[in-house]
Amino acid sequence: MSEPFVFDPRCDLCKEPFGAAVCGTAVTFHCRPLASEHFSHCALVAVCEFSGTRQELELSLEGPAGERICFSGVFSAPPQPELVWYHFRFWREDGTGCVLDKTGYRSDGETDPWQLTVYRESRTPGWFGAGVTYQIFPDRFCRLSVPNPDGLVGRRWVHQDWDDTPEWRPDPDGEIRNRDFFGGSLTGITSKLDDLKALGVTTLYLCPIFESASNHRYNTADYTKIDPMLGTEDDFRALCAQAKERGMRVILDGVFNHTGSQSVYFNADGWYPTLGAAQSQDSPWYSWYRFLHWPDSYDSWWGIHTLPAVEESAPSYVDFIIDGENSIIRRWLRAGASGWRLDVADELPDWFLVKIRAAMEETAPDSVLIGEVWEDGSNKISYSQRRQYLLGSETHGLMNYPFRTALLAYLRGGDADDFREAMETLRENYPPAAFYSAMNFLGTHDTPRILTLLGTDHTPESKADRADYRLLPWERSRAAAKLRLASLVLFTFPGSPMIYYGDEAGMEGFEDPLNRGTYPWGHEDRDLLAWFSRLGALRNGYPVLQTGALRWLCTAGPLLAFAREDGQVRLVTAVNASDSPCSLELPWAADSAQDLLSGSSFAPDAGRLVLELPPRGCLLLS
C-alpha cells in the first residue's frame, strides 16, 4: 500500500472490482488523502500501452472521512484488451501538488504506476484448473519391453537396465546429444492409468511424443508421426480413450518455435529420403527456416545448431501447423488429445497463438491451451514486445513458475508474506479464469528434482559429483517433511496442481538429465506416495479446493495460513515451515474444527482457534 490508506488497489475501499477488468466495464476508484494535506483536486492518470493513449480523469471530491477526505470516480475500461498503467495526481488551489504511485507521494517527475489488466471475456474450460495434472517424460515412465532402435532417426542406443543413470557426459565430439533411451512407451503409460487414477490424476501432460532423434523429443523430426519407440497413432488413440474412460484427459507438448536439424523438414544429415531445407533451396520446407548463409548458417533456438528456428510467418508452415483442415493442431485433437502445452510460448508471435486458440476452439471447443512462460505472463516483454497471452484470445493459462519460485523461497527459510505478495500480484494482474487455470508445480523436466532442492544445502561443483549425489538419510527425512508442506500448498491453492512424474515416489536428481531418471516402479517411497494420493483425493473430493475463493489468514515468517471459501464451505490450509513449534490463532465461527489430513479435532474458544503446529507441521482444517 502506498501512503497508508490513501490508495490500495487490492482493497475494495479503494478499487472495485478487484484485479483485472473486462473490456468496457466500469472500474471505481477512491483515494483518501489526509485532510491536513489540503488537496482540493485529484485526477486518475491512465496510459493505455497498446493504443498509446493517455487519459486524465478528475475524481469528485466526496467530502470528509474522519481525518481524511475522499475522492471518487469511475473509469471505463477500454473496449479492446489493454494494459493500463495508472497513477494519481493531487493538487491544491495554489497549484502545488504531487503524484501518487506505487512508491508513495513524489514530485520528481517520475512515476511507478499500477497495472490494470483489461481483457476480453472468453470461455475457459473448467476441467483443467479444477483437476490434478501429471507430467510424464515418456521415455522414462514405464516400458513393457526393451525396444530396438535400429533404423530410427538419430544414433540411438538403449539402456538395458531400467535403473541406470541417464547419460550426462558429452560424446567424443564434446556434444551432449541425448541419444540414450530407456524405452518407455505409450502402452506403458496406458498400463499405469489405474495407478494414476488412484493418485487422483485427471490430466496427463505428456512431453513431446512425435518422432525425434533425442530422448526428450523437443527437436521434432516429424510432427505427423508418433516416435516409433513410443508406439503408433493407434497406441495414442487407445491411451486417450482409456484415459477418458477413467475421467482423465491427455494434453500434448507442442514445439512449434523450432524443429530438429535431423528432421524431415531440415534433414541436415540426409537421413530422410526427401529433400529438406538444408539440402535444396527448392525444398517445400525451405521457407520455414531463416538461413544466414545456406546451408550451414541459420537462425537457431538459443544458438543451438541442432535446433533450427522456424519462420512462423511462412504461409505453408502456418497452414501445416494450424490452418489446414488436417493441421497438426487439429489432427492430434481429433486423435484424442484434449489440449496443448506450448513450449517456449514467449518465442511464438502473438498472432500465432491467436490462430492456435481459434483452431482449437473450432476443432475441440472444450480443449485447453497452456503456455510455457517463466514470469508474470500479464506483463511479460519478449523480443521488445509486450505480450498478450492472457487477454482473451491466446492461452487459457500459463505454467506458474512464479508460484514455484515463491513457494521454494518460503520453504527454504523465507517469509510467508513474500509468498503471499508474489501470489497476490498474480491474482491482481491475471484475469480470474487465467489465475484458476494456471499450471502450478514444484518441479518440471527443466528444473532439479524438488526433493533434492529441499534436502541439500549445497550443490556439488562437478557434474560427475551431481550425477552420483544422493541425499543422506537425515537430509532425505528433512526434504520429505518440507515436500509434504509444499505439496499441501500446491494441492489447496487455486490452479491445477501438477506433479512431475516420480516426485510423489521420492525421486532425486539435480539438473537435466539427472532430473529425468526412470520411474522407480516397485521401489517408491510409500509414505510420500500415500501422502500425494491423500492430497489428490482431497482435491477431487472438495469442490471448494477447485474453484473456491482465496482468503489469506496469516503470513508471518514461517507461518502460512489461507482459506478456500465457497458460500458456507471453508477449508483452511495451515503450514509451519520452521524447525521449531509455532502457535497459530485463527478466527473460527464453527463449533469445532477437524484436520482432514490426520482426523484430529480441535475446539475453538470464543470464536478463536488456537493451534500449536509442530516443526514442519501442517493442517487442512474443515
Catalytically active residues, by annotation: 343, 372
Q: Which three cell numbers stand for residue 587?
A: 478466527
Hey, what's the cell of 319? 497452414
Query: For the CA atoms of the chain, what is the radius of gyration?
Result: 27
Closest CA to 33 of 74, 75, 5, 59: 5
Residue 599 identity: G
CA-to-CA distance for 46 and 44, rounded, in angstroms? 6
Cα–Cα distance, 90 to 88 (Å, whole number): 7
Nearest-angstrom CA–CA distance, 304 and 215: 17
Helix (H, G, I), strand (E, B), or coil: what is residue 26? strand
* Apex 216 CA angle, 211 and 222, nearest 5: 20
Positive or negative torsion for Cα 73, 74, 80, 82: positive
Q: Compute φ and ψ for 549, nearest 5 degrees.
A: -70, 155
Report yes or no: 576 and 615 within 8 Å, Cβ to Cβ.
yes
Planar angle of CA 610, 616, 622, nearest 5 degrees: 45
CA distances from 510 to 138, 323, 345, 358, 480 (A): 19, 40, 25, 39, 16
Give the three cell numbers for residue 588.
Answer: 473460527
* Sequential DSSP letters for 385-413: EE--TTSSSS-SEEB-HHHHHHHHHHHTT
Tell me which long-range contacts 282-290 makes (C-beta under 8 A, separation of at least 24).
284/316, 285/316, 287/311, 287/314, 287/315, 287/316, 287/317, 288/259, 288/314, 288/316, 288/317
Contact criterion met (CB below 8 Å) for 317 and 311: yes
Cα–Cα distance measured from residue 438 to residue 382, given in angstroms and rounded to the nearest whole number = 20
